[in-house]
Amino acid sequence: MSLVENEQIKLLANALDRASTACFTVGIVTPIAGVLYGIGNFIQIYSWWLASYFAGWLLLAAILHSLARRTLKGLRP
């Protein structure tokens, strides 16, 4: 594997990890901040829907992060 291919793999893994961080921020941190500051209507939403919303975003972030880790396993020192 050439150095260029190694760098391309690292770039892909970084992009996947950044996407997982964005999913976590958009799906979990932002609504929690909205509730804390009284912005939006998350307090009026049913708790089961809100729990599945958070679980879905967290699952998506975890999948993207694990894909990034799996991508990096293909590299050799």
Q: Report pLDDT digits (tens) over 40-55.
A: 776 676 778 888 889 9
Average per-residue pLDDT for the chain: 88
Tally the C-alpha atoms within 13 A of residue 22's C-alpha that lie toward its C-beta.
7
pTM, rounded to two decimals: 0.83
pLDDT given for residue 39 in this prediction: 82
Question: How confident is residue 38, by pLDDT bands cut at 50, 70 and 90?
Answer: confident
